[in-house]
Amino acid sequence: MYALLDCNNFFVSCERALKPELDDKPVVVLSNNDGCVISRSNEAKALGVPMGAPAFKFKNLFVVNDVQVFSPKFEMYNYYSQEVMKIAKSYVPQNAFEVYSIDELFLDFHGFKYFNIYDYCCKIRKEINIELKLPTSIGLAPTKTLCKIANHIIKKETDKYPKGVYIMDSKEKIETALKELDIQDVWGIGRKLGTKMRDNGVHKAWDLLQKPETWVRKTMGIQGIRMINEFKGIPQLELDSPSDKKSIMVSRSFMKMISNKDELAERVETFAIYCAEKLRKQNSCCKVISVFIQTNRFRKELGEYKEGFSIVLPNPSSSSIVLAKFANTIFEAIYKEGFRYKKAGVMVSDFVPDNERLINLFEKDDDAKHIPIMKAIDKLNLKYGKDKIRLGGMSGKNTYGRATLSPEYEEFLKSNTLPEANYRFQ
């Protein structure tokens, strides 16, 4: 039996954990630059606020209905995510889990023959709620796809499953669920393929199961065959082990377009420094650094420009000083006057372990003398907070374009040592 633990309305729930007085009030969390709605409380959903809604279009609705609107607090969301995962993983053997996303975790309960799985999952939810004040739901089933469906059922019928746990453990339960689930809501289908399915008479998940295997294979390929086997309770998707990163990117869309060269250069150097910090956290060095800049693709009347370039480093590096220097070199080569830039980013790739660096005999190895400095900076920032100690080229401004941060959040940042994010926030 597999289980999917899902944090309910995760970003909003994190806001409520920080400020309990938000309970039972309509709350929304916005994206980078406070642009679109990326998380909604059930109360906000009831007001008709759709996911992805442009915030400016719903400004009046927010005011009239006293909707609490928050800039995103990515550091906090990552912190709570890793705390949830830590608690949940403690209930299963080593490697019997898969972190699927920032708010979802698969657990493998195969072999738990002498456990009451329902009570066991209730215990997991209770500990998370007590320790972190976060609501979760847990759907259990023979396959990962059915776990997704079981979790969907819990959220759709909260009154029927007040303890937030549902076990789909019989053919009757599976058949009923598949007959009620719209095809576009099936994990892996989506809107585009869902439209094609409906055009061919497949309106519910159960309808797909009735189609001939040859039709499924022709329409969806091998993934379709795996999906219908998962519907039948035959596991096709094993738990995935975390894979090593092949590249690291730090990029942002800016709240306001940037026309000042020095300001844009500072952002690019800051992104390079963040890439270096991430490399050091995983004890890696990179051989290649890339930089890109681009204008606003939705404001073509202002002029369009997009350019990027990569450099192979003389020696593998994780030094903030070295990567900032080469990022600036690339920036100077690709920057073009007369444009207003909306987005920029830095990517590092081609990693090697930092204890396996092969040094070019004909190039100066700057990393060797930078290592003690980098270690000292990392140690101080871990103790006192992100960017408290920084290079002179960094302004110290937040890179996410968040308009306001509450005093409660500032206190949270001071009181917690936040681990590096495992997820890229958009």
Q: Which residue has the higher pLDDT, 72 or 293?
A: 293
CA dist 65 → 15, 26, 47, 52, 60 (Å): 18, 8, 8, 19, 9
Per-residue pLDDT band at 252 (split at 50, 70, 90): confident
CATH second-level architecture of 247-395? 2-Layer Sandwich (3.30)
The predicted pLDDT at position 346 comes to: 95
The predicted pLDDT at position 209 comes to: 92
- Asked whether residue 425 carries a pLDDT value surpassing 70, the answer given is no
CA dist 366 → 190, 369, 391 (Å): 49, 6, 16
Length of the chain in residues, anyone?
426
Interval 60-71 mean pLDDT: 93
Q: Of 294, 418, 368, which is closest to residue 14 (Cα–Cα)? A: 418
Per-residue pLDDT band at 116 (split at 50, 70, 90): very high
Interval 68-89 mean pLDDT: 91
Per-residue pLDDT band at 282 (split at 50, 70, 90): confident
What is the pLDDT of the chain when averaged over all its residues?
A: 88
Q: How many CB atoms lie within 10 A of CB 238?
A: 11
Per-residue pLDDT band at 153 (split at 50, 70, 90): very high
Q: Which of 12-21, 74-83, 406-415 has the highest mean pLDDT?
A: 12-21
Per-residue pLDDT band at 281 (split at 50, 70, 90): confident
Sequence-ordered list of residues with C-beta below 8 angstroms from that of 139, at least 6 positions apart, any chain: 3, 4, 6, 147, 148, 149, 150, 151, 152, 153, 154, 165, 166, 168
Half-sphere exposure of 297 (CA within 13 A, CB side): 6
- Asked whether residue 420 carries a pLDDT value surpassing 80, the answer given is no
pLDDT tens-digit series, residues 193-229: 888 899 999 999 999 999 999 999 998 899 999 999 9
- CA 277 to chain centroid, in Å, comes to 19
Interval 406-423 mean pLDDT: 58
The predicted pLDDT at position 190 comes to: 80
136-141 sheet: strands from edge to edge: 97-101, 104-108, 2-7, 136-141, 165-167
- Asked whether residue 398 carries a pLDDT value surpassing 70, the answer given is no
pLDDT tens-digit series, residues 336-367: 999 999 999 999 999 998 887 777 777 778 77
Interval 255-268 mean pLDDT: 92
CA dist 213 → 174, 210, 294 (Å): 19, 9, 46
- Asked whether residue 181 carries a pLDDT value surpassing 60, the answer given is yes
Per-residue pLDDT band at 423 (split at 50, 70, 90): very low
Q: Are 152 and 181 in contact (CB under 8 A)?
A: yes
CA dist 59 → 54, 362, 397, 426 (Å): 9, 60, 26, 22
